[in-house]
Structure 1
């Protein structure tokens, strides 16, 4: 559960005050405030889940076999477009693509123990005794504010409570036993204690495979962010027993630019075992609060988007269970880590989908890049991401990365073979069921073609809607300095959203249209990304660059080689898009082609 940092002195929070003023550049669009529409309805997504008012963390995710419906809840203020009055919104779906939202909250802050907020939690498709036919949600019940990792913790401000539905999620009853836990372990000085998650854990510290584990996110003051681990009785979900903290990584661990800053307090952490036919690894996906500013200064003429947002990150960590007690008392040890999303995506929450036997992740895509002035006008704030499938990516016979030494890439586990490596990392893909969005879309195909700088020059092509998907594959030559896709927003092709990979710096960027207006942050997004070279039978082959992007009115989600993801917002005043332009650039003087577009599929007019 994320709380705006500017509102730490009051229990009911006022609007976040931002002052964002990117400097103009040659491509800047000059906009007078009077030219902005009264209601930015063109920025409202069509196939992402939204709600009127304020929306943040997804929660209560799961599948109900009794009704054949998926459930997705979210933090919601139905009475205003700012954080406050935090309740649970609710929506159901048969396919994770088309959602039917409830008009009213299913839980509001009305009980004595949750009068300050019904914060994030999880769902289990049983009753309290573990019997099918009912649904149980476990949530953080809040009776005191403010709560923040920078403030002394007030014991009892956060507690754990339950609610049960016996009619498929239409009506929910708080339980008389609430709260079942009144706060964190009293011997620990915590920075936070919230966002329960309940799951199985094959490699967990308890040998009984039927054991359920409960995870509550937070941190230990002046020591480490962590997750508080409990065993849960599967026949009585009211019984939670604390067994220890999950991991001790210290404060603000930053292994490298590939892994991000692990912060001082964790939120909405979920543990999962991801594997394939050869092996498995335990991963934790979590939001990290209290990240330190980056050392280098951002050029004022080309601001980086994340420097103007909350000091937090959406990360993942791979952990190994300690069979012997560690010096810190933690149940696991840090192995390697990465960044789950490099953009304006936070509070990722997940569930195991019994229908597909896959782990599904949703997140909150924020409205941080809009001022309160514009955010209030549009009538909604925040939305839920598209569903993502996470797994274990295993790459065999890896010889090298494009530039970096494998040992310096801290988001991978590189296991040496004879003269190559086997690499493990987290795989993040859009759910394949999103193909249903294409049913009424116009499909365009681009066949193999050599690319150059000239490919992307000149005017724009045919007009497109603002609801599209692009899946493009490139072969990138050694002379290439930049390769990618431009999406023009004007007919002359001058103003674009540009998705590009820079091989020399191993960096993927999204440059958004420049807007000279203090109300909008359109700084660029950036993420480290490399391509691996494989060696088999004496032949070395580098993998292709794959860019898979979804755009929905103002929401852009980009997946690169299924391991680097950036979510961002495009607040272009016209909301116009034209056919994509594929390009490549080279610093070499030779005529060698810098890159080849192997194939690109474009679906225009996505919808449900």
Structure 2
């Protein structure tokens, strides 16, 4: 696929004005508008996406040890990999002009496609080296018989700072799946270092490993593990199927980590402690899963989910090294959130040096198009771009302190009991927060506050002031009385509101979920197929007690619960329900909701009318809720200062 020139991109962006679209009038059938005319209508300002065209899986991230720049890669137009780079996790610059590719398909190993890969920063000859999936046969799907050798793992090296990855003139370094294994897939290699794994399998400290994601037909999804041998990164020893789960099984009852599916994709392995990345820390995995809630037929559309797990490593008697989860959860609850890829960002990087951040693991989640490919009738030609990467997220091991040790704690969920007594417990889970630099930039824009308010009546109450734009951050805290635990309460906010459209975000205790009601999110859905299904994700608000003295000493950053002053009269009691701490980010058509440093949900909203910027309180009239600490930061910023306007 030929990328458009910069001039063609500019012409497409100017087409919106030429089309004379009136955003104060009802929307037309969008597919009847000129090509490129909707380029700016829903385009975000601060999210990673190329200048033009379709973005796919994030992959091939790395921090360049020579420059300290962090490279964020992604599949582009289904043809190859492109990338942007950043020195602050706020502003991004195209690695190649016009978003041109850093690697494309068409070599001896990859005649048909280049799939995901990951980078060893000091690889072959000391240069950044990409281990990626080279594809020689299509189609590939977990419901189809697998053609052995269709996916292999090959090497490419950059000698020019990441502008081009040159494929090594040699066969794939991992040419085929393990012998005698009928795999569902064999792709998305991820390279990493892990002290626990070194000790478990007797490797030298600092050994590089690679996982390849897939599964086994008739058995279930899995991850295959390899160990590098020698300095050239061309010899990879197979250590076995490191992790496997029964087909379409669940973690616990499935409420907190959905289902394992039939096939794993994009597995990332990394080590975390309470501060962030630590090669000596606990082993975590993020992974995409493909499964189905319906009977399986050849060519069926998969259910996708983006999960995480943490656990222990061991070598069972007579077996190979294995990973055993001890807790699992959802990295992003959005139906379109998938294919996360992350990378170690050292304290020596430019971004971390500027912010004073420690070693971190930064992950980007792909916000795909409607139903992973665009709904039929979606105005793709008119928009001229599709999908984005969600905001960079810092992952760490998160502690939940001062928890009442009751039945809410003992369930198999996305947490684990670290300490407990007869009455109190300290829990651990994965912490998920917006990268501190990104958060600080978003909340450095003009702001206004809303006075705290207690609601008990059904309906909506407008904020005293609305954002001037569809680019804003809303921070808020919601506190509930103990009686809410068994009630039908629903409470939150309506955003992007006008008389004709709005999106409602609320928490409900009936299934312990944050709900995004998009049924009225866009008037354009009345004329054009747009996905407006309601989405939701589970978040347990635990019972907390001031009697418990287990105090979380981990450090947070801007946007975390630790750094917000609480004014909560409902916490005067010794025991109380954990406060819901919300950060809502609206970047035109992208909505991301973060809660309590351990929940994230990204989705599309696509409001049409120019005046759809209002914010209101929402309450369904059951019980009462206290809203406090509400601040709106309006305008966001331009993440692409070098791109044509």
State TM-score, norm by structure 1: 0.84
Q: Which shows bigger deviation, 64-73 or 227-236?
A: 227-236
The secondary structure found in structure 1 opposite 2:438 is helix
Cα distance 1:434–1:221, how it changes in 2: closer, same or farther (>3 A)?
same
Q: 1:170 matched to which residue of 2? A: 163
Structure 1 residue 504: Cα displacement: 3.2
The secondary structure found in structure 2 opposite 1:377 is helix
The secondary structure found in structure 2 opposite 1:112 is coil
Does the alignment pair 1:371 with 2:364? Answer: no
Cα distance 1:232–1:558, how it changes in 2: closer, same or farther (>3 A)?
same
Q: Which shows bigger deviation, 445-454 or 373-382?
A: 445-454
Does the alignment pair 1:496 with 2:478? Answer: no
Structure-to-structure mapping, 1:37-52, within 5 angstroms: 37-38=33-34, 39-41=37-39, 42-51=41-50, 52=52
CA distance in 2, matches of 1:577, 1:234: 59
Q: 1:405 matched to which residue of 2? A: 408
CA distance in 2, matches of 1:68, 1:454: 53
The secondary structure found in structure 1 opposite 2:209 is strand
Alpha-carbon contact 1:461-1:578 (below 8 Å) kept: no
Q: 1:33 matched to which residue of 2? A: 29
Structure 1 residue 160: Cα displacement: 1.0
Cα distance 1:310–1:32, how it changes in 2: closer, same or farther (>3 A)?
farther
CA distance in 1, matches of 2:584, 2:630: 11
CA distance in 2, matches of 1:348, 1:398: 31
CA distance in 2, matches of 1:162, 1:580: 50
Q: Which shows bigger deviation, 207-216 or 465-474?
A: 207-216
Does the alignment pair 1:181 with 2:182? Answer: no
Structure 1 residue 607: Cα displacement: 1.1
CA distance in 2, matches of 1:286, 1:535: 35
Q: Which shows bigger deviation, 480-489 or 597-606?
A: 480-489
Cα distance 1:311–1:34, how it changes in 2: closer, same or farther (>3 A)?
closer
Structure 1 residue 34: Cα displacement: 6.1
Does the alignment pair 1:595 with 2:613? Answer: no
Cα distance 1:34–1:214, how it changes in 2: closer, same or farther (>3 A)?
closer
Gaps of 5+ in 1: 1-28, 78-83, 295-307, 589-593
The secondary structure found in structure 2 opposite 1:237 is coil
Alpha-carbon contact 2:275-2:396 (below 8 Å) kept: no
Q: Which shows bigger deviation, 422-431 or 170-179?
A: 170-179
State TM-score, norm by structure 2: 0.79
Cα distance 1:445–1:234, how it changes in 2: closer, same or farther (>3 A)?
farther
Structure 1 residue 397: Cα displacement: 3.4
CA distance in 2, matches of 1:478, 1:576: 38
Alpha-carbon contact 1:400-1:532 (below 8 Å) kept: no
Q: 1:268 matched to which residue of 2? A: 266
Structure with the higher fraction of residues in strand conformation = 1
Q: 1:319 matched to which residue of 2? A: 311
Structure 1 residue 350: Cα displacement: 0.8
CA distance in 2, matches of 1:250, 1:220: 10
Q: Which shows bigger deviation, 414-423 or 217-226?
A: 414-423
Q: 2:401 matched to which residue of 1? A: 396
Q: 2:534 matched to which residue of 1? A: 524
Alpha-carbon contact 2:146-2:183 (below 8 Å) kept: yes
Structure-to-structure mapping, 1:396-475, within 5 angstroms: 396-399=401-404, 405-415=408-418, 417-419=420-422, 420-438=424-442, 441-453=445-457, 456-457=460-461, 461-475=465-479
Q: 1:150 matched to which residue of 2? A: 143
Q: 1:225 matched to which residue of 2? A: 221
Cα distance 1:111–1:488, how it changes in 2: closer, same or farther (>3 A)?
closer
Structure 1 residue 440: Cα displacement: 6.6
Alpha-carbon contact 2:82-2:101 (below 8 Å) kept: yes
Structure 1 residue 469: Cα displacement: 1.0
Q: 1:358 matched to which residue of 2? A: 360
Alpha-carbon contact 2:103-2:164 (below 8 Å) kept: no
Alignment size in residue pairs:
547
Structure 1 residue 576: Cα displacement: 4.5
Cα distance 1:48–1:458, how it changes in 2: closer, same or farther (>3 A)?
closer
Q: 2:257 matched to which residue of 1? A: 259
Structure with the higher fraction of residues in helix conformation = 2
Task: Give CA deviations for 1:404-426 in whole Å, capped at 9, x if unaligned.
Answer: 73333521213462222221111
Task: Give CA deviations for 1:373-403 in whole Å, capped at 9, x if unaligned.
Answer: 31232111211111001111122332157xx
Cα distance 1:196–1:243, how it changes in 2: closer, same or farther (>3 A)?
same
Structure 1 residue 584: Cα displacement: 3.7
CA distance in 2, matches of 1:457, 1:422: 38
